[in-house]
Structure 1
């Protein structure tokens, strides 16, 4: 079920906030084992995904449906999620970066598949000069 941009902004903001607060509350549990530290980085990348979604939907609500996210918004979202993961553990920062780059790659791929339009190939131009 699809929701409009304003509702999606609210939902993704709440989910990003819940993940951030959960990472802070369960910080002692996350840093206990190496696999949990990697899981903490994964949670940071999920928070990144929700934060990017929130920023994109806020811009779509304010500036119209055809407005697209640009690199500064992605970098800001990445910075916020990396700082949040770094507050848990140093390795969470690194794994969050890796998982977030993978996440943004697949988000871009999905967006291109969903919203791109195919441009017809240009017809070859015949020159008037003969060689």
Structure 2
């Protein structure tokens, strides 16, 4: 069964993360005996193959990342102008604060 490039990348990435995290969780067990160390090497080779599969599928995801970045820039520009309009419409003007000029009054008691 064949899958598209995008699905291949997703499956290979998820599988490589699962294999790597499993190897990290069972690190003491994988190094406890010679047979377990060989099993760890086999899992490492599977991790390597899955990583290579994900690497060759990454060009598809770079295109999607570029589209996401352009969408992010457009959204940030829209947010800026909505905020600017909101400040213009909904701003509450504070009453002016009186400024004292001249001398202070002396307390005469």
TM-score if structure 2 supplies the norm length?
0.54
Work out the CA distance in 1 between the residues paired with 2:11 and 2:62. Answer: 19
Correspondence for 1:35: 35
Give the Cα separation in 2 of the matches to 1:34 and 1:43.
14
Matched ranges for 1:53-92 at <5 A: 53-59=53-59, 61=60
| Aligned position for 1:2 | 2
* Structure with the greater alpha carbon radius of gyration: 2
Q: How many residues are aligned here?
A: 63
Distance 2:58 2:2 in 1: 16
- 1:62 offset after TM fit, Å? 5.4
Gaps of 5+ in 2: 64-109
| Aligned 1:43-58 pairs, distance under 5 A | 43-58=43-58
Q: Return the alpha-carbon distance in structure 2 between the equivalents of residues 62 and 43 of structure 1.
A: 26
Q: What does residue 108 of structure 1 align with?
A: none
Deviation at 1:24, TM superposition (A): 0.5
- For structure 1, which runs of at least 5 residues remain unmatched after alignment? 65-131
Match of residue 89 from structure 2:
none
TM normalised by structure 1 equals 0.45
**1:17 and 1:63 mapped to 2: Cα distance?**
19
The answer for the alignment partner of 2:13 in structure 1 is 13
Q: Which runs of 4+ in 1 moved over 6 A?
A: none
Query: Could you tell me which residue of structure 1 aligns to residue 84 of structure 2?
Result: none
Task: Note the aligned Cα RMSD (angstroms).
Answer: 1.7
